[in-house]
Structure 1
């Protein structure tokens, strides 16, 4: 009986948390992250401000969780897109272009991938290294698969490689904001300077 009650409480907790995240997402998308307050989110969720703090330590924690959720939805599409490519070479190049182009267009994911939001990103990401963790979540399994297939250079550490890929993605966001993502120059740059770091 106690276990059943625990499951009910857990279910209620997750449901309430989900409702707050949904309200926060619509509020952020409507007003913009910088202008949205916890009072705005509480009003949209139909709860008090202290209630939100029961589920999220602060506003930055809430934003980080939304970024994580939206990123994971993008990862589903991104992984499908990447695995449609036969070679790791194409998976890495096409995947980076695809993920950065989609991510930079998402108003919440953009917070951790664009230069103009660096101050806010530093506050949101803080010591949790959200951007690096998410990059590892997306690319770690791809690197593992390439390693198994003998396509990945030996001695590559997934965590360090993904930390570096995160920096490459920042560069691409800046380029894509000013140039067409379909411009072959982007691919040439990645083939010349990124691929050699990974290929066996």
Structure 2
């Protein structure tokens, strides 16, 4: 095993330990760094060397969980057809997964000042990740004739913003009411899947 592989394994141990601590309600605990080191089986100097400060560990954990979240997104998109029902089902799955994500909800509860910027004022990072993960899947679907030749970047950008809005911001839609969310998403999806060129005058 190389040095870089060993370092990566240590970082994974740190993030796994951080996830366990934070999900258990320790996201804002002043002794969090000690708890992470104990669960990871590392000394504090080793933890700082490979994980950085507590804020750096939290940021790295959020990035890792976001990457894993997009794996769920990719799986939900695979095989979906370009119909309003399928698009709505995919979006509902994504929103529901995010709203039920134990670590994310713990982070929002205990450290919103760290989490919310990641998905609001710094949402460009998440949108870029969405394009990287989802864009190729949609491009392949277009090439296979399974969906119309839409602008993939624009589509992913818009739908990512819709999902982020439902998960992280208050609005006119009751995001805790699945029927309300489904109705709203159906209206949004219909704008894309049902769009047709205007008839010539």
The answer to whether 1:189 aligns with 2:187 is no
Gap change, CA 1:128 and 1:98, over 3 Å in 2: closer
Candidates 155, 165, 170, aligned match of 1:171: 165
Aligned to 1:33: 27
The 1-side partners of 2:85 and 2:35 are apart by: 44
Deviation at 1:98, TM superposition (A): 0.1
Candidates 50, 54, 63, aligned match of 1:59: 54
Gap change, CA 1:116 and 1:54, over 3 Å in 2: closer
TM-score, normalized by length of structure 1? 0.72
Q: State the secondary structure of the residue aligned to 1:85.
A: coil
Task: Confirm or deny: 8 A CA contact 1:111 1:118 kept in the other structure.
Answer: no
The runs of 5 or more residues in structure 2 that have no matched partner are 197-201
Task: Confirm or deny: 8 A CA contact 1:85 1:91 kept in the other structure.
Answer: yes
Task: Confirm or deny: 8 A CA contact 2:28 2:110 kept in the other structure.
Answer: no
Candidates 15, 18, 26, aligned match of 2:9: 15
The 1-side partners of 2:106 and 2:160 are apart by: 13
Deviation at 1:81, TM superposition (A): 3.0
CA-atom RMSD in angstroms: 3.4
The higher relative CO (CA closer than 8 Å, separation ≥ 6) is in: 2
The answer to whether 1:42 aligns with 2:37 is yes
The 2-side partners of 1:133 and 1:19 are apart by: 27
Task: Confirm or deny: 8 A CA contact 2:139 2:152 kept in the other structure.
Answer: no
The alignment of Structure 1 onto Structure 2 pairs a total of residues equal to: 188
The runs of 5 or more residues in structure 1 that have no matched partner are 1-6
Q: After the TM superposition, list the runs of 4 or more consecutive aligned residues in structure 1 that deviate by more than 6 angstroms.
A: 114-117
Report the more deviating stretch, 34-43 or 22-31: 34-43
The 1-side partners of 2:146 and 2:165 are apart by: 28
1:118-133 maps to which residues of 2 (within 5 A)?
Answer: 118-122=112-116, 129-133=124-128
